[in-house]
Amino acid sequence: MKKLIFKGAAVALVTPMQSDGSVNYKVLGDLIEHQIKNETDAIVICGTTGESATLSAAEHSEVIKFTVNKVNRRIPVIAGTGSNDTKHALELSKNAEDLGCDALLIVTPYYNKTSQQGLVEHYTYIADRVSLPIITYTVPSRTGVTIAPETHLELSKHPNIVATKEASGNISEVAKIKSLCGDELYVYSGNDDQTLPFLSLGAVGVISVFSNICPRECHDIVQSFFDGDIEKSRKMFLHYLDLMNVLFCDVNPIAVKAALNLLGFECGECRLPLTGLSLKNREKLAEILGKYLPKA
């Protein structure tokens, strides 16, 4: 059995911005401390929610360095290092390794796409050249590429490929992955609204957008399940479902940054080409956020 990176709820952390669009490291530090205080099990930095697509190489490195130093080994730090260029993904991955990260989250190649054999070669090329454990990441709504269960089985044979973040939305595929790979590949839910079904199929946690807003609640949903209190986990999960869903009323991370701003964290706007929430969605977000967090 491979070593587990984390078990529970990891936050896919936003990257807060100043009014001029630069990274707001003061607020980033505040967010990190807020997450750790509220029992988040790991921090994923520079992922999709962290707007990795519009971070420069220098910013990508600096945000990871800041996060690693701020966390200071209290919980695992997982860096998003995916690219549609295999060699560039390797460069990002080796840099994250040098900066002291605990693991890598590597999304499938996007835009140019690839075959299932291409996926095997892509991930193997990187895994052969780094020592950190790798979480593969399937999110076809953004990339147009899905890692097939049989491909997961092949990738799971590599000692450095230890887990996958599944955001395909296909529960049947998750069942098949677990059936084929067993304990040789851990599974994390990549969709908040599917966390509980994933856990029932043997997933070991979630990489969560919702956790930006409710870190302790997200942690407790997962921990209650692992503690054997399935009814508490179910009730909490269903209770917060509307809040989880409204965070995706627009392209992620537009809504979650807006929600954090409403909560007083001053995360700024997303970088173009992502824009602010429409008035209709802003009102909807404020209404639902106020229902769960009256002080928002």
The CATH number assigned to the domain holding 120 equals 3.20.20.70
Find, among 268, 275, 212, the residue nearest to 244 by Cα: 212
- The confidence band for 1, taking pLDDT boundaries of 50, 70 and 90, is confident
pLDDT at 295: 62
For the four alpha carbons of 225, 230, 236 and 242, in that order, the dihedral sign comes to: positive
Can you tell me the mean pLDDT for 21-30? 98
Percent of the chain past pLDDT 70, that is, above it, reads 99
Active site residues: 137, 165
In a domain, 25, yes or no: yes
Please state the domain count of the chain: 1
Q: Give the span between the Cα atoms of 147 and 119, in whole angstroms.
A: 7
Can you tell me the mean pLDDT for 256-275? 97
User: What single letter denotes the amino acid at residue 113?
Assistant: K
- The confidence band for 272, taking pLDDT boundaries of 50, 70 and 90, is very high
Whether residue 150 has pLDDT greater than 60 = yes
- The confidence band for 11, taking pLDDT boundaries of 50, 70 and 90, is very high
Cα 102 to Cα 9, 97, 150, 290, distances in angstroms: 16, 8, 27, 36
For residues 199 and 251, the answer to whether their CB atoms sit within 8 Å is no
SS3 content of the chain, % helix, strand, coil (to 5): 50, 15, 40
Can you tell me the mean pLDDT for 128-141? 97
pLDDT at 92: 98
The position carrying tokens 């989250």 is: 105
Q: Give the span between the Cα atoms of 226 and 234, in whole angstroms.
A: 12
pLDDT in tens, 221-253: 999 999 999 999 999 999 999 999 999 999 999
In a domain, 279, yes or no: no
pTM (predicted TM-score): 0.97
In a domain, 211, yes or no: yes
List CB contacts of 235: < 8 A, sequence separation 6 or more. Answer: none
Whether residue 179 has pLDDT greater than 70 = yes
Whether residue 13 has pLDDT greater than 80 = yes
Can you tell me the mean pLDDT for 278-284? 96
Look over the chain and give the mean of its residue pLDDT values, rounded to a whole number.
97
pLDDT at 83: 97
In a domain, 259, yes or no: no
86-98 helix and 116-127 helix, angle to the nearest 10 degrees:
30
pLDDT in tens, 96-105: 999 999 999 9
Residue 41, domain extent = 8-240
- The confidence band for 20, taking pLDDT boundaries of 50, 70 and 90, is very high
Structure tokens at 2: 């491979």
Can you tell me the mean pLDDT for 64-84? 98
Whether residue 213 has pLDDT greater than 90 = yes
Residue 246: exposed, middle, or buried by beta-carbon count in 10 A (0-12, 13-18, 19+)?
A: buried
Can you tell me the mean pLDDT for 145-157? 98
